[in-house]
Structure 1
Amino acid sequence: MGLENGESSMKEPLLLHHAKKTRSLEVVFLTTFVAVLGSYEFGSCMGYSAPVQSAITKELHLSIAEFSVFGSILNVGAMIGAITSGRIADFMGRTGAMRISSGFSITGWIAIYFSKGALLLDIGRFLCGYGIGIFAYVVPIYVGEIAPKDVRGGLAALNQLMIVIGASTTFVVGTALEWRILALTGIIPCLIQLLGLNFICESPRWLAKVGSEKEFYSALKRLHGDDEDAVSHEANEIQKHQSNATMLDLFQTRYMHSIIIGVGLMMFQQFGGINGVAFYANQIFTSAGFSSSKIAIIAFASIQIPITAVSAFLVDNCGRKPLLLASSTGTFLGCFIAAISFLMKEHNLLQQWVPLLVLSGLLIFVGSFAIGMGAVPWVLLSEIFPINVKGAAGSLVNLEHWFGAWAVSYTFNFLMDWSPSGTFLVYSEFVQLLLFLSTKLCQKLKEEPWKKYKLPSILQVHNFYHFQIKLFN
């Protein structure tokens, strides 16, 4: 009886501890869900232009140049949002920044809904861009700051997954809804988030930074439950790693290698053409000869969700660099197939196969991008910068990311007018440069799984490049 009572008394604290931990994780998951609604909104804005291009240009009598401005001005707004996001998040707090971002996005969607011409349409798109520029910065930071270490990786991957779900849902729904109604659907995640923000806590790191000690410990207790050891440990970690580094601090010699990797990865990720393909998928399928592009757009949108979910699992199990290498190879292959397909169309070869080949190439392209190039550069950025400059580095790379997105989305229609096959050949070359960068510049990062992969030499990349030039000539 004594032993039984002793075992019972030992089990009770363990069960109580487990119950408290479960409740605290439920709070973390709910808080993360409210935050990543901003990521869903991000995806909705990115996916909006592709399914509505024909309807908007026809109803509002827009030229190719005018619609290119509409598509790309989202990224201009996002660039400005990226520049101001750090200041807003520091001044208003993480939840305050999300409220501001939701407000700008709602205003933008309403402006698009009431548009009668290009001006109001562009203003609405710009406001949406400004909103997602803030979301792109504050959501991953907030999730990283509120999540316990043992679930931080999975919750961080949820950010990218929700972006893809938002974009894919807008792609698919856009094939059935009129473009003004589709704009109103973009307001829904913002309204839900604004409601949810009233029930979640502010980031403990921000509260510590502004000196709100009482609210700081209250937020930690909500996120970690009544586990005094966990609360105390997290409080010590946060207070030990407070930093006020500026963007100018990044250009010291000791950070240059990380800066080159971070900026290089993000530049070649964008110049691989993902935003041009995503923004104007409808035009690509029409140019390829699809009589109705709805099925192609649905297939294009649907493939991204399961592959991004798989990527969230593989990034920790296969390693960053192998996943980036495999993704870059597949993305190049997809671009190259699309380029060859349009070249066949230009020379009247196997015309009946061109639409299917273009669709296959783009599915390989977007699927390969989703499994590595979409998420891995962001994961690497969180790992290659020291914690004291991580915030400033995030702002710099975020700004560079949006500049690349704008450049690609603005020039895409003009490149397609020049040569569809040439457009995808250009993108394939940038993907090769990403492949080269990931094999050479990332070698200093200590990750064991990378060592079993034989890396291509500069000569091999150079010879492959000239082989393609000869083929197209």
Structure 2
Amino acid sequence: MSFREENSEDGRGGDLRKPFLHTGSWYRMGSAQTSSMLGSSQVIRDSSISVLACVMIVALGPIQFGFTFSLFGSLSNVGAMVGAISSGQIAEYIGRKGSLMIAAIPNIIGWLSISFAKDLSFLYMGRLLEGFGVGIISYTVPVYIAEIAPQNLRGALGSVNQLSVTIGIMLAYLLGLLVNWRVLAVLGTLPCLALIPGLFFIPESPRWLAKMGLTEDFETSLQVLRGFDADISVEVNEIKRAVASTSRKSTIRFADLKQRRYWLPLMIGIGLLVLQQLSGTNGVIFYSSNIFLSAGISSSDAATLGLGAIQVVATAVSTWLVDKTGRRLLLIVSSVGMAVSLLVVAIAFFLKGFVDEDSTFYGVLGMISVVGVLLMIVSFSLGMGPIPWLIMSEILPVKIKGLAGSVATLFNWFFSWVITATAPLLLAWSSGGTFTLYTLMCVFTVAFVTIWVPETKGKTLEEIQFSFR
């Protein structure tokens, strides 16, 4: 039975998915017709440029994360947890593009509810709605990018997801200095308002189309992404072989998770996303203004903006390095750098307890803590910021990707909520003790990456997933 014949027998969702499968002029026409219309256009003939254009469009979604992180505390994380639970199943049923379209709507409604809020109920509802959208986007964007990118560019393009987040954070810091919170909330709708029409001009993930049995659409999508002059026969056959053993109607059972091919990538994906949060980055950012003030920096807002700019630059460097040095090395270097930086901050805070606040040494300790925070953010941005999401999108097997991706994303947002909610309490208890705890988690991360995380650089998604067998 062919892929298309199998699909035609399933009466559940063909009509529901149809609007998302054939959107955009590239999709509605065959490759030869499109090629003749666009002539010598290098935009779609050059594979890297074609894929980059798709990545830039879907990366609009993560940009608004920055507004979430800078404007709100733990309540948005609760909404993100709810979105994460459903993210994998939505993305599996109606596709990556359809999932992003659905996620954009509550985001827009949520920000508008916040902007025009008359009382606290509107603020709470808005936080939960935009958090729900964030939960879906945070899973879908890295998965979509990983599934469309050529293997030699997958690391760099996958890191664009986190780069967009840091750009959003920096923009929110900057705009927060210029406008009030209601205007800032309205501005938070802009990325998703641009994302929705942009999705009509990019192809659906070819791997998802292949899994759904839509053979013609799958090959057309891949041809668009690789360029109409490219020979895609080898990649087509690899993807077909990978999905042939996985029936779209099959369901994953908990007993199946005992198999190494499933439990190992799931454990690695969850572990990296949990450790990303337990490293305490949100706690450090939360306390950064106080650290700057204690160091004698009068304008903590300007310093925080500078911190956001440094984060963007460091993440951009990671985007450039990840396909050159590999994922594991960057993760190890990042975690070691974070551990050392946090240890410096912890020692500085412990010593402050024994020094007079009017002494010169107290001011020196304040500056040391600032340097430690900056180095910690740089180290985080080089590896532990972008790479856990990239690894998660690469290693999860096709059969469990929806379920496992939802679980991994849920764990990430749950521990994001835990860190955000507990940081004030821990810092009130002991600043030095808090940063010591974060240091220990970074040391554990080094061990976890060294022992468990595989190197995925230069391998196709099918090769990576087959290696777990």
Between 121-130 and 376-385, the greater mean CA deviation after superposition: 376-385
Whether contact under 8 Å (1:172, 1:301) holds in the other structure is no
Whether contact under 8 Å (2:326, 2:455) holds in the other structure is no
Shift of 1:411: 0.8
1:158 aligned partner = 160
- Distance in 2 of aligned mates of 1:183 and 1:447: 39
Aligned to 1:334, which of 327, 341, 353? 341
When normalised by structure 2's length, the TM-score is 0.78
Shift of 1:192: 1.0
Q: Quick check: 1:351 aligned with 2:362?
A: yes
What is the identity, as a one-letter code, of the residue corresponding to 2:388? P
Shift of 1:280: 5.2
Whether contact under 8 Å (1:171, 1:297) holds in the other structure is yes
1:275 aligned partner = 282
Secondary structure of 2:178's match? coil
Whether contact under 8 Å (1:247, 1:393) holds in the other structure is no
Whether contact under 8 Å (2:153, 2:323) holds in the other structure is no
Counterparts in 2 of 1:20 and 1:424: CA distance versus 1, 3 Å: closer
Shift of 1:445: 6.0
RMSD in angstroms over aligned alpha carbons? 2.9
Q: Quick check: 1:44 aligned with 2:64?
A: no
2:111 aligned partner = 109
How many pairs are equivalent?
Answer: 410
Between 289-298 and 302-311, the greater mean CA deviation after superposition: 289-298
Shift of 1:423: 1.5
What is the identity, as a one-letter code, of the residue corresponding to 1:331? M
Q: Which has the larger radius of gyration?
A: 1
What is the identity, as a one-letter code, of the residue corresponding to 1:41? Q
Q: Quick check: 1:252 aligned with 2:258?
A: yes
Whether contact under 8 Å (1:289, 1:354) holds in the other structure is no
Shift of 1:427: 1.1
Q: Any idea what the Cα deviations from partners look like across 1:20-42, whole Å, max 9, x if unmatched?
A: 86355443322221111112122
Q: Any idea what the Cα deviations from partners look like across 1:215-257, whole Å, max 9, x if unmatched?
A: 4444334333434732x44443333323456373662141444
- Distance in 2 of aligned mates of 1:369 and 1:401: 16
Q: Quick check: 1:195 aligned with 2:201?
A: no
Secondary structure of 1:229's match? coil
- Distance in 2 of aligned mates of 1:163 and 1:86: 20
Whether contact under 8 Å (1:71, 1:279) holds in the other structure is no
Aligned to 1:403, which of 403, 414, 436? 414
1:32 aligned partner = 55
- Distance in 2 of aligned mates of 1:411 and 1:250: 36
Q: Any idea what the Cα deviations from partners look like across 1:178-215, whole Å, max 9, x if unmatched?
A: 22222222111111111212222222333334444454
Whether contact under 8 Å (1:281, 1:297) holds in the other structure is yes
Matches within 5 A, 1:90-169: 90-169=92-171
Q: Quick check: 1:236 aligned with 2:242?
A: no
What is the identity, as a one-letter code, of the residue corresponding to 1:131? G
Whether contact under 8 Å (2:173, 2:304) holds in the other structure is yes
Whether contact under 8 Å (1:173, 1:182) holds in the other structure is yes
- Distance in 2 of aligned mates of 1:435 and 1:333: 12
Q: Structure 2, unaligned stretches of length 5 or more?
A: 1-38, 459-469
When normalised by structure 1's length, the TM-score is 0.78
Counterparts in 2 of 1:325 and 1:32: CA distance versus 1, 3 Å: closer
Matches within 5 A, 1:54-453: 70-227=72-229, 229-230=231-232, 232-242=233-243, 243=246, 244=248, 246=252, 248=254, 251-254=257-260, 255-279=262-286, 281-286=288-293, 290-349=297-356, 350-442=361-453
Counterparts in 2 of 1:105 and 1:277: CA distance versus 1, 3 Å: farther
Counterparts in 2 of 1:131 and 1:436: CA distance versus 1, 3 Å: same
What is the identity, as a one-letter code, of the residue corresponding to 2:406? S
Shift of 1:379: 3.5
Shift of 1:301: 0.8
- Distance in 1 of aligned mates of 2:126 and 2:253: 30
2:10 aligned partner = none
Counterparts in 2 of 1:149 and 1:98: CA distance versus 1, 3 Å: same
Whether contact under 8 Å (1:249, 1:389) holds in the other structure is no
Whether contact under 8 Å (1:250, 1:259) holds in the other structure is no
1:456 aligned partner = none
- Distance in 1 of aligned mates of 2:381 and 2:436: 20
Whether contact under 8 Å (1:140, 1:156) holds in the other structure is yes
Counterparts in 2 of 1:28 and 1:171: CA distance versus 1, 3 Å: same
Counterparts in 2 of 1:152 and 1:358: CA distance versus 1, 3 Å: same
- Distance in 1 of aligned mates of 2:229 and 2:45: 12
Whether contact under 8 Å (2:273, 2:388) holds in the other structure is yes
Q: Percent identity?
A: 40
Secondary structure of 1:226's match? coil
What is the identity, as a one-letter code, of the residue corresponding to 1:241? A
Q: Structure 1, unaligned stretches of length 5 or more?
A: 1-15, 50-69, 449-473
